[in-house]
Amino acid sequence: MNFRIEKDTMGEVKVPAEKLWGAQTERSRNNFKIGPSASMPLEIVYGFAYLKKAAAFANCDLNVLSKEKRDLIATVCDEILEGKHNDQFPLVIWQTGSGTQSNMNVNEVVANRAHQIAGKVIGEGEKTIQPNDDVNKSQSSNDTFPTGMHIAAYKKVVETTIPGIIQLRNTLHKKSIEFKSVVKIGRTHLMDATPLTLGQEFSGYVSQLDHGLKALEHTLAHLSELALGGTAVGTGLNTPEGYDVLVAKYIADFTELPFVTAENKFEALAAHDAIVETHGALKQIAVSLNKIANDIRMMASGPRSGIGEIIIPANEPGSSIMPGKVNPTQCEAMTMVCAQVIGNDVAISVGGTQGHYELNVFKPMMAANILQSAQLIGDACVSFEEHCASGIEPNHKVITELLNNSLMLVTALNTKIGYYKAAEIANTAHKNGTTLKEEAVNLGYVSAEDYDEWVKPENMVGSLK
């Protein structure tokens, strides 16, 4: 392999000749060989590309950077956003907690690529653009990394998570309408309860996702606030006047998202409550999705020895030894995703506590976890909707058998003969293996005619609207 020599404040470093990164990236690559598969998410890199381009435009407007340098920086940032240099960002999540090395990785790639665009050879002559003085002008890793975090997380939530949830939510809503007259037995404590409709049951799932979406959308206002302009500790040292507002405006323009400068830069650098808050909403949705998937898994259990009230699509063989076995694989995938998101929330909560004085030092881990959770939820919702929810159908025969066999229909007699007599009917029927109607008549508490008039499951489900 051919190498070239790159320099930083600590001296010379050998860098693979064909790579665009520089000395600080190479030092980090060698010093943090921790989980090589845990690469810094490209979404963070793209967040940096947006902010570096925006910073170049703001600095130029404020007369601290030339138009020539602005345009070179912007050109490279656009190339990064087009995915042309994905292999130039080799660093892992497990690095400095401020993300300094990833910030410098981007600075070095932009500077060296700009040198190429200017028609020069990397490693020869003075750099056309300096990584620190030009690409990083008016910035610090302490305000760029949280800005990149917010850009990446906001985009992921609005482009992947929310659309996926809405897709599943809308299908469940459609099913709740289709099933509104399908009367079935309810269950509490996993035991028989009074009737409801399958549509009512599904409407509960819709409501859960509606509340989750509202909670998630509410967090976007906090997530849209950017730390850029706070530089090292939040004071804005070495930035021209008006830079923070202007750079946020450029980021909003380039991303077409409503980003604004953070009102308080000290909070934006030292605390990541917006990430904690947003991931808390993701966790809430994961809790809801876990309940929904488990309900569907249990209602579909069988097909002959379980509950079997609904039929879900048979997508693939379920066993390498049992012929004909089909499993609720989408439910299993969804609940595993939910477990991962809930676990990520613990890590993010711990990370949020690590704001020591003027800087939180768990930024890369928090960024990686929120991006993973947002991606997983969006993808899992789409997969679950396409391969499970959209194909759910009631098993009318089983629903009717289980409904008519339930002892809890006796609850309809409470107001007619009282709780204790109704309980005696249920307990006697269960003991003797007979029906409620048989024991109600045998005990002399109601006539057959009255029983048929009073115990009608369809009259026990409340409003169907």
Tell me what the pLDDT averaged over the chain comes to: 97
Q: What is the CATH number of the domain that holds 54?
A: 1.10.275.10
- Quick one: 343 and 262 in the same domain? yes
Confidence band for 464, pLDDT divided at 50, 70 and 90: low
280 is in an annotated binding site: no
37 is in an annotated binding site: no
383 is in an annotated binding site: no
- Quick one: 440 and 299 in the same domain? no
- From 190, 389, 458, select the one nearest 306 (Cα to Cα): 190
Can you tell me the mean pLDDT for 431-444? 96
pLDDT at 282 (0 to 100): 98
Domain range for 149: 142-397
- Quick one: 224 and 330 in the same domain? yes
Q: Would residue 419 count as lying in a domain?
A: yes
pLDDT at 465 (0 to 100): 58
Q: Would residue 384 count as lying in a domain?
A: yes
pTM: 0.95
- Quick one: 157 and 46 in the same domain? no
Per-residue pLDDT of 275-302, as tens digits, reads 999 999 999 999 999 999 999 999 999 9
Among residues of the chain, what percentage have pLDDT more than 70? 100
- Quick one: 240 and 93 in the same domain? no
Q: Would residue 10 count as lying in a domain?
A: yes
pLDDT at 37 (0 to 100): 80
Can you tell me the mean pLDDT for 221-237? 98
Per-residue pLDDT of 137-195, as tens digits, reads 999 999 999 999 999 999 999 999 999 999 999 999 999 999 999 999 999 999 999 99
Q: Would residue 173 count as lying in a domain?
A: yes
- Quick one: 264 and 201 in the same domain? yes
349 is in an annotated binding site: no
Can you tell me the mean pLDDT for 259-269? 98
Cα separations in angstroms, 77 against 81, 82, 193, 304, 416 = 6, 9, 61, 59, 76
- Quick one: 176 and 46 in the same domain? no
Can you tell me the mean pLDDT for 214-219? 98
Per-residue pLDDT of 305-339, as tens digits, reads 999 999 999 999 999 999 999 999 999 999 999 99
Q: Is 319 a catalytic residue?
A: yes
pLDDT at 36 (0 to 100): 76
140 is in an annotated binding site: yes
- Quick one: 280 and 307 in the same domain? yes
Q: Which of 37, 85, 181, 189 is catalytic?
A: 189
Q: Is 301 a catalytic residue?
A: no
Out of 71, 104, 137, a domain closes at 137
pLDDT at 239 (0 to 100): 98
Out of 137, 160, 186, a domain closes at 137
Q: Would residue 84 count as lying in a domain?
A: yes
- Quick one: 155 and 231 in the same domain? yes
Out of 379, 397, 415, a domain closes at 397
- From 115, 138, 134, select the one nearest 21 (Cα to Cα): 115
Can you tell me the mean pLDDT for 108-120? 98
Confidence band for 134, pLDDT divided at 50, 70 and 90: very high
Q: Would residue 299 count as lying in a domain?
A: yes
Distance CA 108, CA 132 (A): 8
Q: What is the CATH number of the domain that holds 391?
A: 1.20.200.10
Lowest mean pLDDT among 29-43, 63-77, 184-198: 29-43
Can you tell me the mean pLDDT for 429-454? 97
Q: What is the CATH number of the domain that holds 420?
A: 1.10.40.30
Q: Would residue 465 count as lying in a domain?
A: no
Lowest mean pLDDT among 61-75, 238-252, 313-327: 313-327
- In the beta sheet, which residues pair with residue 39? 92
Q: Which of 181, 218, 319, 396 is catalytic?
A: 319
325 is in an annotated binding site: yes
- Quick one: 206 and 296 in the same domain? yes
Can you tell me the mean pLDDT for 335-364? 98
Can you tell me the mean pLDDT for 16-21? 95
Can you tell me the mean pLDDT for 21-44? 94
- Quick one: 113 and 205 in the same domain? no
Residue 386 makes CB contacts below 8 A (sequence gap 6+) with: none
- Quick one: 105 and 168 in the same domain? no
Q: Would residue 229 count as lying in a domain?
A: yes
Whether residue 363 has pLDDT greater than 70: yes
Count of structural domains, the chain: 3
